[in-house]
Amino acid sequence: MDQDNNSEDELVGPFEDASEDESLPSRPPGLSDSEAVELLWQVRAQRRQSSPELPETVTRLTAPDGSLLYLVGTAHFSDSSKKDVATTIRAVQPDVVVVELCQYRVSMLKMDEKTLLKEAKDINLDKVQQAIKQNGVMSGLMQILLLKVSAHITEQLGMAPGGEFREAFKQAGRVPFCKFHLGDRPIPVTFKRAIAALSLWQKARLAWGLCFLSDPISKEDVEKCKQKDLLEQTMLEMIGEFPALHQTIVAERDIYLTHTLRQAARCVEAPPNAQKVPAVVVGVVGMGHVPGIERNWEKELNIQEIMSVAPPSRFGWMLRTVLKAGVIGVLGYACYRAGGGMGRALLSLPAVQSLLDNLRPLPPAAA
């Protein structure tokens, strides 16, 4: 699943916005388009620091063609991470910025903090139905449970997630010719592979733990997540309990993120003669992905293997049929208790009709 510079996950073009403190020079009269492009290229080259002093959360990696990747490890609920991202992008003036988002989560780039706080806390029936429709029953319910975890942290800290991604999007728009790529694996693929990797008992345990999450979280706890030793210790605890979950949610996404970052870290064409020069890339990912990206940076990667979703097993189909039958039984009892009119109203609902259709046996094949 290769991505090039014309990828559908590219959001920002060459000229987007100019900040007040880093405004671009006005275009001199009579300057041709090619001359204007060359002028902007020179402006960016002058702003780009050759040996920048960057935060401790930044890791530098080099591609075979000499392109540079500045990988910013972040905590997703952190004002400090937003500052790290802004500092890095301003210092290195990148050709490309890649963030740990996919097309299904891109809306958080455009929402303000107030709207995101409201959305994170408001998990209603419509969101549940949308998640199930998009990801299937089990994966959709797991997504809702993880949204509940995010809402819990949001409520504890009074801070919406993804501030570092919004900051990266804003800063990328202030750099001439900077492109913005979504670098994460599509979330439906991740959820479906994660659910398929867990046993029924593990799914129940995970759901139970997420449903009753109530431990208080402080801003100091979040900032500690930027320390590799603490984060790795937390991940080891998680691996011990759900090793398959770690493989699909963390390790496989490490591979995918490495792939998209390497795709971005390719030589770019410099004006005026389109000479190939090494690119400068800034990657913005959760700190937990940094060690995996470093390990995978020079390896041969098989992306197709981690993009496939196995069809449901026969046991899974039987389990869903039993659950649906149970729902129909509860509805039948409700109809009996409510009386004939209410019963007919319940049975006329589209959701109930769909359940009945799925349980109806298939007609025998023609001889």
CA dist 62 and 54 (Å) reads 16
Q: Average pLDDT in the 333-357 region? A: 52
How many helices (H) and strands (E) in the chain?
A: 16, 7
In the predicted model, is pLDDT for residue 356 greater than 60? no
In the predicted model, is pLDDT for residue 59 greater than 70? yes
In the predicted model, is pLDDT for residue 157 greater than 80? no
In the predicted model, is pLDDT for residue 261 greater than 60? yes
The model's confidence at residue 229, banded by pLDDT at 50, 70 and 90, is very low
Q: Average pLDDT in the 341-363 region? A: 51
Question: What was the pLDDT predicted at 7?
Answer: 46
The model's confidence at residue 34, banded by pLDDT at 50, 70 and 90, is confident
Q: Are 38 and 272 in contact (CB under 8 A)?
A: yes
Q: Is 350 left (phi over 0), alpha (psi -120 to 50) or beta?
A: alpha
Q: Are 95 and 281 in contact (CB under 8 A)?
A: yes
Q: Average pLDDT in the 70-83 region? A: 89
- What φ, ψ does residue 269 adopt, rounded to 5°? -95, 125
Identify the residue whose tokens are 């020069």. Answer: 277
Quick one: what percent of the chain has pLDDT higher than 90? 36
Between residues 47 and 317, which one has the greater pLDDT? 47
| Residue-averaged pLDDT of the chain | 76
Nearest to 69 by CA among 282, 294, 268: 282
With a CB cutoff of 8 Å and minimum separation 6, the contacts of 138 are 195, 203
CA dist 204 and 195 (Å) reads 11
Q: Average pLDDT in the 42-66 region? A: 95
Question: What was the pLDDT predicted at 195?
Answer: 80
Question: What was the pLDDT predicted at 171?
Answer: 97
pTM for the whole structure: 0.74
CA 128 to chain centre: 19
Identify the residue whose tokens are 């005026």. Answer: 272
The model's confidence at residue 146, banded by pLDDT at 50, 70 and 90, is low
- Give the single-character DSSP code of 104: G
Q: Average pLDDT in the 85-91 region? A: 98
Question: Residue 181 pairs with which residues in a beta bridge?
Answer: 10, 98
DSSP secondary structure string, 232-292? Answer: HHHHHHHHHH-HHHHIIIIIHHHHHHHHHHHHHSS-EEETTTTEEE--EEEEEEEGGGHHH
**Which range has highest mean pLDDT (203-212, 232-241, 327-336)?**
203-212
Report the run of H or E that residue 181 belongs to, with start and end: strand 179-182
CA dist 163 and 82 (Å) reads 6
Q: What is the pLDDT of residues 275-325, one digit of tens each?
A: 999 999 999 999 989 999 999 999 999 999 999 987 665 655 665 566 555
Question: What was the pLDDT predicted at 202?
Answer: 77
